[in-house]
Amino acid sequence: MEAVQLLSQEQLERFEEDGFLHLPGAISPSEVLLLEEIGDGLLRTGTVRCRERGYDGYEGIRDCFNQDERFRFIIAPDSVLPGVVQLLGGNIRIISSLFVYKHPLDPLGQRTIRTPEMTGWHRDMREVVRDLGHECIERYSVMASYFLSDLRVEGLGSSLFVRGSHRLREALYVPPDRADPEECVSIPVEPGDAILFENRTWHAGQLNTSKRDDKILFIQYAYRWLAPVDYWNVNPELASQLTDIESQLLGLTTDVDRGGNFVLGSGSAAIEKWAASAGIEPRHHPYYGPRR
């Protein structure tokens, strides 16, 4: 990895306050073009695995790293991974990857989502919310969302967030006659920008009413003791090329060494040793506790 790009104290405090953080220019223009080329190629095949079709122009491709090995550079980017380690620590892996297309919609057409009946507002890791309830969940993951389209204009499919909503111990309140809470904000982004947000942060994706596709790549980092969402194995050809850090992030390391001995915590050694040598100090994120 190249020079470590740490989050500043101000950025860390902003993330703790808001539950998300905008990182302008996280990937280069050439990397944006490469990601578009890969995604467009997969979409054209029509037979890609782990295809996800949703509502109102939404289409997604999951398990990106097994779909095309050229996604490899986004496993551990220098501009993002150090910040993720600051927020979560080194005992992490990738549990999901999702390339999203938002196809154009008629601005006056009928909607099945982003309506008062189905607002689209949610927290990530919905199974955790379902199984444990809002009052029990903590920060288990950080999502890195990479924007490949210019979303600085109204009507494009940018993301909406509610600042500080990661501290809520109940569901987000949305007025019955509205699709959005009053306090939501939209983050204008340019191609190459990234937004980091944690699993408890309430968010929704806006619909795309422009005349071209909007494209976003989501990579979700979480603790190693959580199971992946959309993959289990890694293509052997890809696995043979990975660095130790990339191998850990794709779940190829365990706490059993090559001699068959169990060594507690050794499966996270690659990132933890790198973080220590680079002077990365993980923060112990605050516990907000149940409301009294």
pLDDT tens digit at each of 292 positions of the chain: 567 889 999 999 999 999 999 999 999 999 999 999 999 999 888 767 888 887 788 899 999 999 999 999 999 999 999 999 999 999 999 999 999 998 888 777 778 888 889 899 999 999 999 999 999 999 999 999 999 999 887 656 678 999 999 999 999 999 999 999 999 999 999 999 999 999 999 999 888 888 889 999 999 999 999 999 999 899 999 999 999 999 999 999 999 988 899 999 899 999 999 999 999 988 766 555 554 4
Residue 292 has a pLDDT of 40
Residue 197 has a pLDDT of 98
Residue 154 has a pLDDT of 61
Residue 106 has a pLDDT of 76
Residue 279: count of CB within 10 angstroms of its CB: 9
Which residues have CB under 8 Å from 282's CB, separation 6+? Answer: 85, 86, 87, 88, 89, 90, 275
Residue 96 has a pLDDT of 97
Residue 291 has a pLDDT of 45
* 103 three-state secondary structure: coil
Which residues have CB under 8 Å from 115's CB, separation 6+? Answer: 179
Q: Estimate the crossing angle of helix 269-277 against helix 81-88, to 10 degrees.
A: 100
Give the pairing of strands 51-53 and 141-147.
Answer: unpaired
* 248 three-state secondary structure: helix
Domains detected in the chain: 9-277 (2.60.120.620)
DSSP assignment of 209-239 equals -SSS-EEEEEEEEEETTSPPSS-S---HHHH
Which residues have CB under 8 Å from 17's CB, separation 6+? Answer: 163, 164
